[in-house]
Amino acid sequence: MNQIIRFSGKVFILIGLLLGVLSQLTAADSLITVGIYQNPPKIFLNEEGQPEGIFVEVLEEIARLENWQLKFIAGTWNECMHNLENGKIDLLPDIAYNHKRAQLFFLSTVPVTESWSQVYTRPDLELTNLADLKEKNIALVEGSVQKPTFIQLMNGFGYPFREVYASSFPEAFNEVKIGVADATLANHFFGESQYQQYGLVKTPIILDPVHLHFAVKKKEKKWIIESIDKHLTTWKQTQNSFYYKTMVKYLQSSSHTGDPHSHRIYLVMITLMLLTALLIFLFFRNRLNRQTKKLRETNKKLQYEEQKFRKYIEHAPYGVFVANENGKYIDVNKTACDITGYSKEDIIGKKITDLIAEEGKEPAMGHFNRVVSEGKSSIAVPYLTRSGEKRIWNVTASKITDRSYIGFVEDITDEEHTRNRLHLMNRIIDQSINELYLFDTAGLHFTEVNKAAVQNTGYTAWELKKMTPLDLKKNISPEQFHGLIQPLLKKEKKIIRIETQHFRKDGTIYEAQVYLQLLENEQEHEKLFSAVVVDVTDWKKSEEELEQIKERLEREVEEKTLELNVRIAELEDFREATIERELRMEELKQEIERLQHEKK
């Protein structure tokens, strides 16, 4: 009996230990670390450092119902994103959907609310459209969904701007307030509740409507998102639920710091949302039976549209290639066959790289991987026709479904060769040692200049394109220059050579020979003057030096000639004296011989 009691005691002790361990594991599993940053009224720390906001109250109510323990970890938005990605927090509220985030995180299927971005500025600036933001200083929050969207939009319209760094929306608003930035953009929740506190005004520039979600890191604690979705679904289908009460509470609260009538607008919006949801529910319930019939009709229409679409694709001027997730072709159109020289049956089943030239295989696979991961991509790549000819095609591809991808292909071989030839010609022109200019016939403004022109004149290309030939030839009047080019305009001459002087930016002068021609583009009805300028300063200098050497040599030759003539005269005198002496000697000799003969 005692043994049984002792055994039972050990069993109870073991059970107690197991329950203790289980309770610790349960408690540990129910602790959820949550990122929080300043973005009122959606999520923020109040003046006492306590979490508040729409997302906070929604999450705290779900935590109460699920017996979770929440631990909030504060940081900037960018720090919260890094913490979620690195596993330092379990959950991040108030995250807008984009493709990159969907690759990294599980986002709640049911969004908590919707938002959009709005531009805010100082009262002294009047900004009404995106073009007004051109060349302005714009404060963008690092890591925010607004930043890449705004940059892409401005680049797409060709509006340059200067980015001012900000780590949070309050910091961005303050940068505008103190004049470091001209404008900023933020989600309308934060902007509506804060812009007047910073002395800013909201502009009519609105962009990027988004849904806002909770997020967890992929492969980790997806059950959190599933529980959140469950409660949000129930709340959104229930009138006067905790969710709607929270939304009304914060929208009314935020409106006190906004426009005086904005709280009415938000109340109307919430009421309309509730009524719309109810009407939609009733409407679709009543139409449920009728939808079956309409679905059949829709299917027939879809089949018809599909056939029509296939006809469009089949007769499209572009090659159309459809590939599966393994990179194998599953369908092509007639133009694709014409481009490659293969039949449809030959192409289907081939891999993407089977048609690509060796040097293009790696870029082609990189292009396909981008389509798979990002949804679209474009590339120019060399391919081989059935005959083995290497040509170039331009591919723009998009994801159709998770298992199929479509590529639109255009053969750009001829265009590419033309482009390469033009590029080569431009390089030759730019590397010419002579200055080359093009200028219009109306205002005589330079339209194109080469590198030699920039280097020799000292002006930048941008500065030269604001000038005319007369700005370089300051010793020629406009009337004289117009007189010089008249024979070209009247087609009396094809080319004119001018000897002139050019003035550099630093004030120095160089001698120039200018060869002027008139170029005509009959198709564009355009006329341009071309000027080839040869810097002959060194040549002129050499010519002057040669002339001086010539003159010096001529003087020396003249002096030497005079000296030689004197010497010749002296020699002539000497020669005559010598001859006379020899004659005298001969006479004396004959006289002596005669006298000797007489003595005999």
Digit-coded pLDDT (tens) for 95-145: 988 778 888 898 988 888 877 888 999 999 989 888 899 999 999 999 888
| Homologous superfamily of domain range 432-535 | PAS domain (3.30.450.20)
Query: Tens digit of pLDDT for each residue in 389-425?
Result: 999 989 999 888 888 899 899 888 888 777 777 777 7
Question: Looking at the predicted structure, is the pLDDT value of residue 18 above 90?
Answer: no
Residue with tokens 């997020």: 215
Is pTM beyond 0.75 here?
Answer: no
Percentage of residues of the chain with pLDDT beyond 70: 83
What are the two backbone dihedrals, phi and then psi, of residue 516, each rounded to the nearest 5 degrees? Answer: -100, 140
The CA distance from 242 to 64, in Å, is 13
State whether residue 154 is helix, strand or coil.
helix
> Which residues is 573 bridged to in the sheet?
none
Cis amide bond preceding 41, omega within 30: yes
Distance of CA 140 to the CA centre of its chain: 17
pLDDT of residue 298: 65
- What tokens were used for 188? 């309308």
> Strands 44-45 and 92-96: what pairing?
unpaired
Output phi, psi for 94, to 5 deg.
Answer: 60, 55
pLDDT band (50, 70, 90) for residue 16? very low
Can you list the alpha helix ranges (DSSP code H) found in 86-194?
A: 99-104, 146-157, 169-177, 188-194
Q: Is the pLDDT of residue 546 over 50?
A: yes
**Hey, do 315-417 and 432-535 end up sharing a CATH topology, with the first three levels equal?**
yes
Q: Which fold has domain 315-417?
A: Beta-Lactamase (3.30.450)
Query: In the chain, what are the domain boundaries?
Result: 315-417, 432-535
One-letter amino acid of 595: L
Q: Please give the C-alpha separations between residue 574 and each of 566, 578, 581, in angstroms, as whole numbers.
A: 12, 6, 10
- Could you tell me the end-to-end alpha-carbon distance of the chain, in angstroms, rounded to an integer? 201
Could you give the CA distance from residue 107 to residue 330 in angstroms, rounded to a whole number? 33
Contact indicator for 488, 478 with CB cutoff of 8 Å: no
**Element (DSSP H or E) covering residue 68:** none
Residues forming a β-bridge with 528: 440, 519
Mean pLDDT is lowest, of 126-135, 173-182, 264-273, for 264-273
Evaluate whether 473 touches 446 at the Cβ level (below 8 Å). Answer: no
The 10s digit of each residue's pLDDT in 42-61 is 899 998 999 999 999 999 99
- Pick from 105-109, 232-236, 278-282, 425-429: least confident: 278-282
Phi and psi at 25, nearest 5°, equal -60, -40
C-beta atoms surrounding 394 within 10 Å: 16
